[in-house]
Amino acid sequence: MEDTGPRALLDRAQQLFLRKDLDGFADLFAADGTHELPFAPPGVPRLLRGREEIRRYLTSITATPMELTGFHDLAVHETRDPEVVIAEYEGRGRVVSTGRPYRMTYIQLLRARGGEIVTWRDYWSPLAGFRALGLRALLPTVARTARARWRRARQAG
């Protein structure tokens, strides 16, 4: 029987992310799951609600000129709540457009229920991302995200 706990989902999510299978990554979320980005820079949503909104956001960032090659120094902390794990690690790779190395420390809280991710809270430094990728490389992603948010707001209102 396949393990569907939070640690197993974290492992699957990381494998999918490394393979750039962001559609598969989104499939790990519950239909009403959330992806939270508390430190998101302007133009990037802080809260994504629902698997399909998460999928739209993730597939919009595939143009970021970064090749993620691995996760290092992974520490996964079990909590008293069996649905929750907290992971600390360093993502490494390279910026394709410049050849510069990419290194980013991440802390993530993952809550899983029924074999699906119900909460993924992702803590990372936008400043470190800007330094690694350069503002020019991030502008298209920020612009696409802002346009998508504007369209959603117009459709809702």
pLDDT in tens, 85-130: 999 999 999 888 788 888 889 999 999 999 999 999 999 887 766 6
Which tokens is 122 given?
């992702």
Structure tokens at 100: 């510069």
> Domain extents for the chain?
6-156
Of the listed ranges 15-19, 118-122, 132-136, 149-153, the least confidently predicted one is 132-136
Distance CA 46, CA 68 (A): 22
What six digits make up the tokens of 23? 């559609």
End-to-end CA distance of the chain: 46
57-82 pLDDT per residue, tens: 888 766 677 788 999 999 999 999 99
What tokens were used for 89?
Answer: 């690690």
6-156 CATH? 3.10.450.50
Output the CA–CA distances (angstroms, integers) from residue 150 to 39, 120, 135, 155, in the order listed. 20, 24, 22, 9
* Residues 120, 128: Cα–Cα separation, whole Å: 20
Task: For residue 25, give both structure tokens.
Answer: 């990554």
Across 2-6, 25-29, 63-67, 98-102, which has the greatest mean pLDDT? 25-29
Residue type, 139: L
CB atoms within 10 A of CB 31: 9
